[in-house]
């Protein structure tokens, strides 16, 4: 597949803009676990996911994590190129959650494109608005939702992403997604198990009753 098929506004760009863009692309294949962006760097470039799965999260001083959003095929990550907009005043970390293939677009090339092309700038606006919406959802979850519902929501989402009811995941990893402590997750999972919604075994969580989990999530 070509880059043009992954970049929805390709047809709206002028020939010179297309050349500048495709001439600057770096293709990269990364293993699961690779840290793609983070730790004070601000000009990694924009990441366009060809295949695989990335995770964007924030880190506290003490090393606690909370997942902001995931990126899948065709998603474009702006915040790994925060140097291109002076109003982006926060740091996120991005890692590959699965083996992934990406294109990296240099921040300066993309910035120039946005300045020249209203289509590119508006496309970027839509992407930022979509991430903003995910982060607003997260705030609502953190503020108003009890942890048992957040664990239920996470398990259902994870199961949908993996297309599997049996998830290989540790309590520690779930805690890092949700920004809480392992002990809290263990307590919640045991509660869900006692209600017959999941079955726990070593490093796996099996979803037994998705209907009940969904009801809990949407309560």
Contacts with its own copies, residue ranges (CB under 8 A): 58, 60-62, 64, 66, 85-90, 114-118, 120-122, 124-133, 135-140, 142-144, 179
Residues in CB range of 55: below 8 A, 6 or more apart: 67, 70, 71, 94, 95, 96, 97
CB 213 within 8 A of CB 145: no
Burial 181-200 (b: 16+ CB within 10 A, else e): eeebbeebbeebeeeebbbe
Instruction: Kindly tell me which of 115 and 168 has the beta carbon lying closer to its own copies.
Output: 115
Least spacing, CB of residue 12 vs its own copies, in Å: 11
CB 167 within 8 A of CB 206: yes
Instruction: Kindly tell me which of 151 and 198 has the beta carbon lying closer to its own copies.
Output: 151
Least spacing, CB of residue 168 vs its own copies, in Å: 26
Residues in CB range of 134: below 8 A, 6 or more apart: 68, 69
- Nearest partner of 60 among 150, 179, 142, 144, judged by Cα: 179
Instruction: Kindly tell me which of 61 and 211 has the beta carbon lying closer to its own copies.
Output: 61
Least spacing, CB of residue 18 vs its own copies, in Å: 16
Least spacing, CB of residue 205 vs its own copies, in Å: 23
- Nearest partner of 107 among 6, 21, 10, judged by Cα: 21
Instruction: Kindly tell me which of 10 and 210 has the beta carbon lying closer to its own copies.
Output: 10
Instruction: Kindly tell me which of 12 and 203 has the beta carbon lying closer to its own copies.
Output: 12
Least spacing, CB of residue 208 vs its own copies, in Å: 28
Instruction: Kindly tell me which of 28 and 72 has the beta carbon lying closer to its own copies.
Output: 72
Least spacing, CB of residue 6 vs its own copies, in Å: 18
What gap in Å lies between CA 214 and CA 76, rounded to an integer? 29
């Amino acid at each position: 597949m070509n880059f043009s098929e992954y970049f929805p506004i390709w047809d709206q760009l002028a020939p010179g803009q297309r050349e500048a863009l495709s001439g600057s692309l770096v293709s990269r294949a990364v293993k699961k676990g690779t840290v793609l962006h983070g730790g004070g760097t601000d000009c990694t470039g924009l990441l366009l996911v060809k295949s695989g799965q990335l995770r964007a999260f924030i880190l506290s001083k003490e090393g606690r994590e909370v997942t902001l959003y995931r990126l899948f095929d065709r998603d474009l990550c702006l915040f790994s190129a925060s140097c291109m907009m002076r109003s982006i005043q926060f740091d996120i970390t991005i890692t590959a959650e699965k083996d992934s293939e990406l294109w990296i677009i240099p921040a300066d090339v993309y910035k120039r494109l946005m300045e020249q092309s209203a289509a590119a700038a508006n496309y970027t606006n839509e992407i930022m608005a979509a991430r903003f919406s995910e982060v607003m959802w997260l705030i609502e979850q953190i503020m108003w939702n009890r942890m048992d519902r957040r664990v239920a929501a996470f398990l259902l989402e994870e199961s949908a992403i993996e297309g599997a009811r049996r998830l290989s995941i540790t309590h520690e990893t779930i805690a890092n997604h949700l920004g809480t402590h392992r002990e809290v997750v263990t307590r919640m999972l045991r509660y869900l198990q006692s209600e017959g919604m999941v079955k726990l075994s070593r490093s796996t969580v099996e979803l037994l009753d998705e209907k009940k989990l969904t009801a809990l999530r949407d309560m």
